[in-house]
């Protein structure tokens, strides 16, 4: 296992030629318009458990996807094989589907004047030519740090390291061509602490980044996982009550994920969102402002264009609590009688402005008494009504400090009231994902303990 992960991908010109051939074949078949995407990637994934290697995988992926339009009819097909025969079959399948489809006046390519024309360097590509044995040793060191963090950490669900290098291209018959070369690296560990009675608690932590040098140190990741597991020992239930709830940054991002789902085009044109027709209205507490920042260097969701080639742009989605816009692609925009916002594929780095000088510990002191939620279970957010109910575990806080761990809880409320009852956002931003947000303190939720 001394061969490094290949860092080279197929030449861009070769991949561009396949896209051009796909679009030309669609035209020859009678399509009035077409778009095609082609992605190739190389990856290495290793995992260890209790010091033993569980997995070493080299991954090679590629896929060419084609969508054709015959007026207001559309069809799509894809292939993982790059050959003349596979391309011909893909074009034939897409065209056959389109000819058999019903008409929909909202389908079609994005308007040509909205397509991206500038492609700044966003510093998204940092290949990591890891030798598998080195990756294994890093994972082992991460797991060993979890065991060293606390003597009560006696078992492990393992540690893993993943690295991926990809190249994606998108082209359409308006003449647009976009190319993105990216890398993604991650390291994670799951530790198990055991008390004297044999009760177990799991603690997990991970780091992810575009560049390997931006990852947390392997021992820091493992130590954090071990500490989190040990801190959960002795967890108890709570009686049902209403109290403030504090979401650490890594958990708070999910709250804004629900917000993004509610302002996304698909939910809106289906009338399945509690934020339908709310642009210009106050939907958050007045302290809240949130912005799309698509050009953050090395950002997890940075891009100069969306999945349709439309130029992305900096946008204010929430201004002092007021909703300023939706996330729309071309299809959803047409369904709503609006114009695409360049958000086909979602948001491109949502940055939530901090309102409080300090992170989780400072917010706990500010809260005084309440619940810190460190883990959420289930998918109990109804975007139609805003109703929110999730299984949870975490820590009960008294006099501004953690008193004891708690588990087997349910927290419930409604996203409308939760957003409006948001009291503070810390400056401890989690920058690992699409949403960049600090810890969030919410005025009050119903907390139900075990029956």
Domains delineated in the chain: 12-231 (3.30.2290.10), 235-451 (no CATH)
Confidence of residue 6 (pLDDT cuts 50, 70, 90): low
What residue spans of 276-381 are helical by DSSP H?
Answer: 330-336, 360-367
What pTM value is reported for the model? 0.94
Distance separating alpha carbons of residues 292 and 330, to the nearest angstrom: 18
- pLDDT, mean of residues 213-233: 97
Distance separating alpha carbons of residues 389 and 404, to the nearest angstrom: 23
Question: Residue 4 pLDDT > 60, yes or no?
Answer: no
The contacts of residue 48 (CB under 8 Å, 6+ apart) are: 54, 136, 139, 140, 143, 158, 159, 160
| Predicted local confidence at residue 3, as pLDDT | 54
Distance separating alpha carbons of residues 422 and 426, to the nearest angstrom: 12
Distance separating alpha carbons of residues 105 and 74, to the nearest angstrom: 10
- pLDDT, mean of residues 53-73: 96
Distance separating alpha carbons of residues 435 and 290, to the nearest angstrom: 10
Report residue 45 as tokens. 């994934």
For the chain, the first-to-last Cα distance in angstroms comes to 52
Confidence of residue 378 (pLDDT cuts 50, 70, 90): confident
> Could you report the per-residue pLDDT of 144-181, keeping only the tens digit for each?
999 999 999 999 999 999 999 999 999 999 999 999 99
The b-or-e profile of 45-64 (16+ CB within 10 A means b, else e) is: bbbbbeeeeeeeeeeeebeb
Distance separating alpha carbons of residues 192 and 200, to the nearest angstrom: 6
> Could you report the per-residue pLDDT of 91-112, keeping only the tens digit for each?
999 999 999 999 999 999 999 9
Confidence of residue 237 (pLDDT cuts 50, 70, 90): very high
> Could you report the per-residue pLDDT of 286-329, keeping only the tens digit for each?
999 999 999 999 999 999 999 999 999 999 999 999 999 999 99
The contacts of residue 11 (CB under 8 Å, 6+ apart) are: none
User: Between 6 and 84, where is the model more confident?
Assistant: 84
Averaged confidence pLDDT in the chain: 96
Confidence of residue 1 (pLDDT cuts 50, 70, 90): very low
């Amino acid at each position: 296992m001394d061969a490094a992960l290949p860092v080279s991908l197929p030449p861009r010109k070769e991949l561009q030629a396949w896209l051009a051939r796909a679009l030309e074949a669609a035209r020859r078949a009678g399509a009035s318009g077409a778009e095609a995407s082609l992605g190739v990637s190389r990856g290495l994934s290793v995992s260890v458990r209790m010091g033993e290697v569980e997995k070493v995988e080299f991954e090679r992926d590629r896929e060419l996807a084609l969508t054709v339009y015959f007026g207001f009819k559309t069809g799509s097909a894809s292939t993982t094989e790059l050959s003349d025969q596979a391309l011909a079959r893909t074009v034939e399948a897409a065209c056959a589907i389109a000819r058999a489809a019903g008409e929909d006046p909202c389908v079609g390519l994005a308007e040509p004047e909205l397509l991206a024309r500038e492609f700044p360097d966003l510093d998204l590509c940092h290949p990591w030519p890891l030798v598998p044995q080195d990756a294994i040793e890093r994972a082992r060191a991460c797991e060993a740090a979890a065991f060293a963090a606390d003597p009560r950490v006696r078992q492990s669900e393992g540690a893993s390291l993943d690295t991926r290098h990809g190249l994606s291209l998108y082209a359409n018959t308006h003449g647009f061509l976009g190319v993105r070369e990216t890398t993604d690296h991650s390291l994670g560990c799951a530790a198990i602490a055991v008390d004297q009675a044999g009760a177990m608690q799991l603690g997990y932590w991970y780091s992810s980044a575009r560049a390997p040098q931006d990852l947390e140190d392997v021992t820091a990741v493992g130590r954090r996982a071990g500490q989190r597991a040990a801190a959960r020992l002795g967890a108890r239930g709570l009686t049902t009550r209403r109290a403030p709830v504090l979401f650490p940054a890594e958990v708070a991002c999910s709250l804004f994920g629900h917000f993004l789902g509610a302002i996304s085009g698909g939910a809106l044109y289906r009338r399945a969102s509690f934020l339908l027709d709310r642009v210009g209205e106050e939907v958050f507490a007045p302290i809240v402002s949130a912005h799309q920042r698509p050009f953050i260097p090395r950002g997890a969701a940075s891009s100069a264009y969306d999945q349709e080639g439309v130029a992305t742009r900096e946008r204010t989605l929430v201004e002092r609590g007021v909703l300023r816009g939706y996330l729309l692609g071309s299809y959803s925009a047409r369904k709503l009688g609006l114009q695409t916002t360049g958000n086909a594929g979602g948001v491109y780095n949502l940055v939530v402005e901090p309102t409080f000088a300090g992170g989780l510990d400072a917010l706990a002191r500010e809260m005084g008494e309440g619940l810190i939620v460190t883990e959420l279970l289930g998918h109990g957010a109804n975007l139609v009504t805003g109703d929110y109910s999730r299984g949870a575990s975490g820590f009960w806080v008294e006099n501004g400090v953690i008193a004891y761990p708690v588990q087997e809880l349910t927290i419930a409320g409604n996203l409308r009231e939760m957003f409006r009852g948001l009291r503070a956002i810390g400056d401890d931003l989690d920058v690992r994902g699409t949403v960049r947000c600090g810890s969030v303190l919410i005025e009050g939720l119903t907390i139900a303990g075990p029956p």
